[in-house]
Chains A and B, each alone.
Chain A
Amino acid sequence: MKAVCWCAKDTLRVETVADPSILNPRDAILRVTSASICGSDLHLVGGYVPTVQSGDILGHEFMGEIVEVGPAVTNLRPGDRVVVPSFIGCGQCYYCRQQLWSLCDNSNANAWLSEAAMGYAIGGVYGYTHALGGYAGAFAEYVRIPFADVNPLTVPGDGLPDEQLLFISDAFPTGYMGADFCAITPGDVIAVWGAGAVGLFAMKSAKLLGAERVIAIDRLPERLRLAREHFGADEVINYEQQRDVVEALKEMTAGRGPDACIDAVGMEADSPGLDDVYDRALQAVRVQRERVHVVREAIMACRKGGTVVLLGVYIGLPDKLPLGPAMNKGLTLKMAQQHGQRYARRLLEHVQRGDIDPSLVVTHRVSLEDVPHAYTLFKHKDDGCIRVVIRP
């Protein structure tokens, strides 16, 4: 089959590889009908995340049709249409039972590696480094689904098109989890950094969960427009025009500060300020991998006793985090890789009821052959690119 492989930093190639096969009793094989390039893939392809290897098949946001099931999978049949959460759970460990699926004890095939870096291993994920399981990803015609009896969300075969359902795999539950972490109560103002798919879904989810006001922060006009028109943002801040985002948020909330701040940007955040020079200098000498400008802003902007949520991905040990302000202001910090299985059914219902149209984030549609080009487009946000849908 054809698959998109990571060959080196910033180098993706479409290769012919073997078809996947059932390796364990609870596996299934999926024919991928749609997949998407996620902001997390940018970090990976851009060389920020260790333990990716030349030849790895990427892709973790996807859906498709079941073509084969292992002997222990009795609830799925060939022909079933499913959306698959990016993180793999086993459904039977303490963490899966607690609905903390991305923390699964059992799904990471290279647990020892993750353990060495973090103390404890987190769950496996498709196409996203060997430390996180080394599973082949879904930018391919077919992909193997481990623990297929508990992970995929079966969706009706007709009615909603793929583009409405695809993001229930990754970006939508991530955003929803972020809003959920805010424990929103009446009157809450939620500020969201980043108006990519994750940020947009966080904004809309905050509204679905009862937020009074949502403020979106980004620099790209097309994304800010989408935020305001379709994803529930009441106000926007263009950080290129408004240099002091923290001050702007304080003013917009009449001196209180947002009740919760969501980082939907992650380790490649940019900033016009001095700390960016510092971060980039450290990055250049490989001292640290990530740029944490948004975390700093979110902690400084958040009201006393408020909640700061990290959805953007970080992997290492960044410097100069304002822990003092966070501690003294009594903030709650919440963060996680997404627990998609926990929200999938609820999100499907929202889509079916028409509460949200996730397909609005789709700007480009490509075949597998065009993924390397689409990656570049997405990386540079050229041509208004927000989400690329791949149809293998």
Chain B
Amino acid sequence: MPSPLRAPTGSIGLLTAAQPGPTASGVGRATVPRWVPTVGGAVLVLAGLRRRSGAGAALATAGGALAYVGLTGRVAAPGWVQSRLPARGERGLVVERAVTVLRPPEELYGVWRTLENLPRFMPHLQAVTASGDGRSHWVAAGPAGSTVEWDARIVAEQPNELLRWESLPGARVPHRGEVRFSPAPGERGTEVRVRLEYDRPAGLLGATVAQLVGRGADRQVREGLRRFKRIMETGEIPTNDGQPRGRCR
């Protein structure tokens, strides 16, 4: 039986409705006493866990976020609202995420540069096929079991340091991506920084929608980077899917 709990990953647009979250995109002070969100958060976490569904996982995440509000008095949970609307000079919604991996940059770059590897750790990607000329074809999970496909090309590469790509004309959500590898201080491995910039989907303008889509993307990138780190450091992704559990009936 699969574990009822999964990391809250999913395709862009799929998760958005079920993701209650902080309304402010920045960091603000909670006006209620700290313990209120904390207790509420714990309850939500538990309620979410009992439901054993995607919505349940979302609820649990929201609960975690609320608990976090209680813990810190900040309205932004870690990893939630890192995406932001474009600043001047930027064209679309920006997602920025980073992780530190205890492996040398050349190893990490090598794995990433072989784009076919990406679906191993980016949960929403189903397949990437590269053709020799720097072009690639991407297939991702879309809403309601559908798939979304697009073509991309590599626009910059500096071995062991940087890789930049962008979608080719015709992509439903035009975007540009970049990953940088730089040594972390003091034998701590390599800092891997991903930056994605999405053009706003046509017809879906408005800050709210963009923000919600961004959150889904943000979560994908965060969990994707976590998996990347885990594969690179340990050779596998920890799981409890398929382990025994009781029924309590």
Question: Chain A interface (Cβ within 8 Å of chain B)?
Answer: 1, 3, 5, 7-8, 13, 15, 17-21, 23-26, 50-51, 53-57, 72, 90-94, 97, 105-113, 115-119, 124, 130-131, 133-136, 140, 144, 146-147, 286-288, 316-317
Q: Assuming the A-B contacts A112-B8, A112-B223, A116-B78, are A92 and B233 also in contact, with contact meaning beta carbons closer than 8 angstroms in the complex?
A: yes
Among B38, B64, B234, B247, contact of A92 (Cβ-Cβ < 8 Å)? B234
Contact B238 A109 (CB under 8 A): yes
User: From A56, which residue of chain B is reached at the shortest CB distance?
Assistant: B245
Q: 3 closest pairs, A vs B, by CB?
A: A116-B64, A5-B246, A15-B246
Among B64, B188, B233, B240, contact of A90 (Cβ-Cβ < 8 Å)? B233
Across-interface contacts of B68 in A (CB, < 8 A): 116-117, 119
206-234 of chain B: CB within 8 A of chain A: 222-223, 226, 229-230, 233-234
Contact B7 A317 (CB under 8 A): no
159-188 of chain B: CB within 8 A of chain A: 188
Contact B244 A1 (CB under 8 A): yes
B89 at the interface (CB under 8 A from A): no
Most buried by B among A1, A25, A105: A105
CA distance A60 to B91 in the complex (A): 51
Across-interface contacts of B129 in A (CB, < 8 A): none
Contact A113 B247 (CB under 8 A): no
Across-interface contacts of B4 in A (CB, < 8 A): 53
Across-interface contacts of A316 in B (CB, < 8 A): 38
B70 at the interface (CB under 8 A from A): yes
B146 at the interface (CB under 8 A from A): no
User: Which segment, of B44-52, B110-118, B137-145, faces chain A?
Assistant: B44-52
Contact B226 A111 (CB under 8 A): yes
Contact A50 B45 (CB under 8 A): yes
Starting from the known contacts A24-B236, A112-B79, 14 additional A-B residue pairs (CB-CB under 8 Å) come to A3-B244, A7-B246, A7-B248, A17-B246, A24-B238, A51-B45, A51-B49, A92-B102, A106-B233, A112-B226, A113-B61, A115-B78, A119-B78, A317-B34
Contact B248 A55 (CB under 8 A): yes
Minimum distance in angstroms from B52 CB to a CB of chain A: 8
Mark B60-96 against chain A: 1 for CB-CB distance below 8 A, else 0.
1101110110111000011100000000000000000
CA distance A135 to B102 in the complex (A): 25
User: From B184, which residue of chain A is reached at the shortest CB distance?
Assistant: A94
Minimum distance in angstroms from A313 CB to a CB of chain B: 16
Q: Assuming the A-B contacts A5-B246, A23-B243, A135-B243, are A94 and B67 also in contact, with contact meaning beta carbons closer than 8 angstroms in the complex?
A: no
B203 at the interface (CB under 8 A from A): no
Across-interface contacts of B229 in A (CB, < 8 A): 105-106
B5 at the interface (CB under 8 A from A): yes
Minimum distance in angstroms from A74 CB to a CB of chain B: 13
Contact B189 A107 (CB under 8 A): no
Contact A113 B5 (CB under 8 A): yes
Tally of A-B residue pairs with Cβ under 8 A? 158
Minimum distance in angstroms from B233 CB to a CB of chain A: 5
- 24 interchain pairs (CB within 8 A)? A3-B246, A17-B246, A18-B1, A26-B236, A53-B50, A55-B245, A57-B245, A90-B230, A93-B234, A94-B102, A97-B102, A106-B238, A112-B64, A112-B226, A115-B64, A116-B64, A116-B67, A116-B68, A116-B77, A117-B41, A117-B45, A117-B71, A136-B244, A147-B234
CA distance A134 to B238 in the complex (A): 11
Across-interface contacts of B226 in A (CB, < 8 A): 111-112
Across-interface contacts of B3 in A (CB, < 8 A): 109, 134
Minimum distance in angstroms from A49 CB to a CB of chain B: 10
User: From A129, which residue of chain B is reached at the shortest CB distance?
Assistant: B49
B39 at the interface (CB under 8 A from A): yes
Contact B42 A50 (CB under 8 A): yes
User: From B4, which residue of chain A is reached at the shortest CB distance?
Assistant: A53
User: From B9, which residue of chain A is reached at the shortest CB distance?
Assistant: A112
B132 at the interface (CB under 8 A from A): no
User: From A130, which residue of chain B is reached at the shortest CB distance?
Assistant: B5
Contact A110 B246 (CB under 8 A): no
Most buried by A among B49, B50, B222, B244: B244
Among A5, A119, A136, contact of B243 (Cβ-Cβ < 8 Å)? A136
Minimum distance in angstroms from B63 CB to a CB of chain A: 8
User: From B233, which residue of chain A is reached at the shortest CB distance?
Assistant: A92
Among A17, A24, A117, contact of B239 (Cβ-Cβ < 8 Å)? A24
Contact A94 B248 (CB under 8 A): no
Across-interface contacts of B49 in A (CB, < 8 A): 51, 53, 130
Across-interface contacts of A117 in B (CB, < 8 A): 41, 45, 64, 67-68, 71
Across-interface contacts of B8 in A (CB, < 8 A): 112
CA distance A383 to B161 in the complex (A): 65
Contact A5 B248 (CB under 8 A): yes
Q: Assuming the A-B contacts A50-B46, A130-B49, A317-B71, are A26 and B241 also in contact, with contact meaning beta carbons closer than 8 angstroms in the complex?
A: no
CA distance A19 to B248 in the complex (A): 17
CA distance A57 to B35 in the complex (A): 30
User: From B3, which residue of chain A is reached at the shortest CB distance?
Assistant: A134
Contact B246 A13 (CB under 8 A): yes
Contact A17 B238 (CB under 8 A): no
Contact A18 B67 (CB under 8 A): no
CA distance A72 to B238 in the complex (A): 14
Q: Assuming the A-B contacts A51-B46, A130-B5, are A135 and B240 also in contact, with contact meaning beta carbons closer than 8 angstroms in the complex?
A: yes
CA distance A124 to B237 in the complex (A): 13
